[in-house]
């Protein structure tokens, strides 16, 4: 129910105000019928009405003074309607200055009163909707519910959140989702700062993304521009995209998916001109065609043959095709990961360890990037692959014992036997053992111990790792075995060796 206070010093006029309208039927409750301005002021302070209808001329405090005093109070301001038997312009002008929209001359004509009452009802309903909307948008429950819904964690929000969504949907004609991508701390600060003044709801999402939910209107584009300007002013590399309008908050995931998809394209094809509006963008024109297998094979063949210039040309060709065809970002990612996987297979074929380029592969799965950054990263990965293949081929052309030495230096921490090493290089184990001793004066196993102890000494000096963790890292299973080999080569225990090295350093 809306609350109304009536004020008129004429008893008949006051009673007329009571009976002029069926207040209760229209949703009003009369919480004060006052015969002077002082009494009306007290009623207003006590009941905080939505509507005040007051005469101008009253004893103690007249109608205009009543409005002036109420305007100074820290309270939710009521709507004032001024009724007066005086039609002088000065009264009307003063009332307008105090924010009064309705100034009626007694006696009030029924048709005129009906129109004013209809306008008042519309205005009060609008106030109520806006107040309800602001309260719900300020709630912490609703943004959390929407965030979880957008993340796909909820098919249907919980009862309280669902009720809030339904009430907001009744008050608003539609909703739009603004998607923001960029460094988390920057975009969160900018979005929070702009959400309040714009009447938007800030949505905190995982990763380097955030969002704003706003009422669908022409002002949406302006808010997107302000967010983008905030990113630019702070030197933040990011994107802002506007999803399509939806009727209900429950359909917001549709707007989110479109906006997030447009943001992904922005990283690949943005010209830095501002927010991307999915309603006018050409995202639907993206190509989902993979490059021909022949192109990829030609690239990898050039890598294997160590043709550096050809590798660069073929990679440039593939990415030039991506840009010309506006290939979808997910297809570009898939192709890039495929190339990296093939390079890892090549490394393995030439003796490289499993997962040697795992870090680069993880980059393609997680990091936001542009076409140029992707191409550069691939170029670095393929160059590294070629360098490893080149080194392997150089070692393969040397004397078998040189290749064995390189192998031992790369794998001393593994559990190795002479037989396994000989099989790896297709050499007779007896011949390998005798040849190695002849060249180095020690056996292969002693050579491995020397490599392990040298690595342990380096770790003892350069790190604060525990002795036991060092023992395991250099390839020893049993501590006492390590201790025997260490003391044999240094005449010291590991702790004493570290202390002496630190004191001398």
Structure tokens at 416: 């190795």
Instruction: Work out the percent of the chain whose per-residue pLDDT is above 90.
Output: 25
Per-residue model confidence as pLDDT tens digits over 396-435: 655 678 888 888 999 999 998 999 998 888 888 888 899 8
pLDDT at 368 over 70: no
CATH 3.40.50 assigned to domain 140-281? The reply is no
CA 158, CA 473: separation in Å to the nearest integer? Answer: 52
Confidence of residue 505 (pLDDT cuts 50, 70, 90): low
Question: Averaging pLDDT over each range in 103-117, 196-210, 487-501, which range is the top one?
Answer: 487-501
Q: Contact at 8 Å (CB) between 242 and 278?
A: yes
Q: How many other C-beta atoms are found inside a 10 Å radius of the C-beta of residue 373?
A: 14
Burial of 242 (0-12, 13-18, 19+ CB in 10 A): buried
- Looking at CATH, the fold of the domain delimited by 2-133 is given as Rossmann fold (3.40.50)
In the prediction, which pLDDT does 32 show?
93
In the prediction, which pLDDT does 459 show?
92
CA 249, CA 269: separation in Å to the nearest integer? Answer: 30
pLDDT at 358 over 50: no
Q: Contact at 8 Å (CB) between 78 and 51?
A: yes
Least confident of 175-184, 216-225, 351-360, 481-490: 351-360
In the prediction, which pLDDT does 365 show?
54
Q: Average pLDDT for residues 353-357, to the nearest whole number?
A: 51
In the prediction, which pLDDT does 324 show?
83
From the list 7, 127, 88, the residue with the least C-alpha distance to 55 is: 7
Q: Contact at 8 Å (CB) between 361 and 341?
A: yes
CA 39, CA 484: separation in Å to the nearest integer? Answer: 102
Confidence of residue 360 (pLDDT cuts 50, 70, 90): low
Least confident of 135-144, 200-209, 219-228, 295-304: 135-144
pLDDT: which is higher, 108 or 310: 310
In the prediction, which pLDDT does 86 show?
63
pLDDT at 100 over 90: no
Q: Give the CB-side neighbour count of residue 122, counting CA atoms within 13 A.
A: 6
Q: Average pLDDT for residues 30-53, to the nearest whole number?
A: 93
How many helices (H) does the chain have, and how many strands (E)? 22, 10
pTM > 0.85: yes or no: no
pLDDT at 352 over 70: no
Least confident of 16-25, 241-250, 258-267: 258-267
Contacting residues for 420 by C-beta, under 8 A, at least 6 apart: none
Confidence of residue 269 (pLDDT cuts 50, 70, 90): low
If DSSP codes are grouped into helix, strand and coil, which group holds residue 399? Answer: coil
pLDDT: which is higher, 74 or 108: 74
CA 154, CA 147: separation in Å to the nearest integer? Answer: 9
Q: What is the CA radius of gyration of the chain?
A: 40
DSSP, residue by residue, 125-177? HHHHHHHHHHHHHH-SHHHHHHHHHHTTS-SS--HHHHHHHHHHHHH-S-EEE
Burial of 443 (0-12, 13-18, 19+ CB in 10 A): middle
Least confident of 101-110, 134-143, 166-175, 191-200: 134-143
Confidence of residue 369 (pLDDT cuts 50, 70, 90): low
CA 26, CA 435: separation in Å to the nearest integer? Answer: 108
C-alpha angle 361/365/368, rounded to 5°?
115
Confidence of residue 311 (pLDDT cuts 50, 70, 90): very high
| Mean of all residue pLDDT scores within the chain | 83
In the prediction, which pLDDT does 252 show?
87
Confidence of residue 137 (pLDDT cuts 50, 70, 90): low
pLDDT: which is higher, 138 or 470: 470
pLDDT: which is higher, 33 or 503: 33
pLDDT at 359 over 50: no
pLDDT at 9 over 50: yes
Specify the CATH number of the domain 400-504: 1.10.10.60
Q: Average pLDDT for residues 319-345, to the nearest whole number?
A: 84
Q: Contact at 8 Å (CB) between 3 and 29?
A: yes
Domain borders along the chain are 2-133, 140-281, 293-394, 400-504
Structure tokens at 40: 């009306």
Burial of 501 (0-12, 13-18, 19+ CB in 10 A): middle
pLDDT: which is higher, 503 or 267: 503
């Amino acid at each position: 129910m809306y609350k109304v206070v009536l004020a008129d010093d004429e008893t008949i006029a006051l009673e007329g105000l009571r009976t002029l309208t069926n207040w209760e039927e229209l949703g009003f409750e009369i919480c004060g019928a006052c015969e002077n301005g002082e009494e009306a002021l007290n009623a207003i302070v006590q009941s905080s009405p939505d509507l005040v209808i007051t005469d101008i001329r009253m004893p103690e405090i007249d109608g205009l003074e009543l409005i002036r005093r109420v305007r100074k109070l820290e309270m939710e301001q009521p709507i004032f309607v001024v009724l007066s038997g005086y039609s002088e312009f000065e009264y009307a002008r003063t009332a307008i200055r105090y924010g009064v929209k309705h100034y009626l001359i007694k006696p009030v004509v029924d048709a005129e009163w009906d129109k004013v009452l209809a306008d008042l009802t519309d205005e009060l309903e609008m106030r109520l909707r806006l107040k309800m909307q602001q309260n719900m948008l300020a709630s912490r429950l609703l943004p959390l519910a929407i965030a979880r819904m957008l993340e796909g964690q909820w098919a249907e929000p919980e009862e309280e959140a669902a009720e809030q969504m339904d009430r907001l949907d009744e008050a608003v004609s539609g909703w739009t989702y603004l998607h923001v991508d960029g460094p988390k701390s920057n975009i969160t600060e900018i979005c929070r700062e702009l959400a309040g003044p714009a009447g938007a709801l800030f949505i905190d999402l995982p990763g380097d993304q955030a969002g704003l939910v706003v009422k669908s209107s022409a002002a949406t584009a302006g808010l997107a521009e302000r967010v983008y300007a905030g990113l630019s002013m702070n030197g933040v590399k990011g994107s802002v995209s506007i999803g399509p309008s939806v009727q209900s908050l429950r359909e917001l995931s549709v707007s989110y998916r479109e906006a997030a998809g447009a943001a992904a394209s922005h990283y690949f094809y943005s010209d830095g001109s501002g927010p991307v509006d999915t309603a006018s963008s050409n995202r639907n024109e993206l190509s989902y065609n993979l490059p021909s297998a022949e192109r990829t094979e030609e690239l990898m063949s050039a890598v294997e043959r160590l043709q550096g210039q050809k590798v660069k040309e073929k990679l440039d060709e593939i990415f030039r095709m991506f840009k010309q065809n506006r290939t979808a970002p997910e297809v570009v990612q898939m192709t890039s990961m495929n190339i990296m996987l093939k390079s890892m297979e090549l490394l393995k074929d030439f003796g490289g360890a499993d997962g040697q380029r795992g870090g680069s592969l993880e980059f393609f799965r997680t990091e936001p990037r542009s076409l140029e950054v992707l191409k550069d990263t691939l170029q670095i990965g393929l160059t590294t692959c070629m360098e490893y293949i080149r080194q392997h081929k150089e070692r393969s052309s040397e004397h078998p014992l040189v290749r064995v030495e390189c192998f031992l230096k790369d794998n001393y921490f593994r559990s190795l036997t002479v037989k396994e090493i000989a099989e790896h290089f297709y050499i007779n184990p007896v011949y390998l053992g005798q040849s190695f001793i002849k060249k180095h004066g020690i056996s292969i196993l002693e050579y491995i111990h020397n490599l392990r102890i040298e690595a342990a000494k380096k770790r003892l000096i350069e790190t604060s790792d525990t002795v036991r963790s060092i023992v395991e890292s250099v390839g020893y299973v049993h501590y006492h075995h390590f201790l025997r080999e260490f003391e044999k080569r240094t005449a010291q225990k590991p702790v004493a060796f570290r202390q002496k090295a630190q004191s001398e350093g």
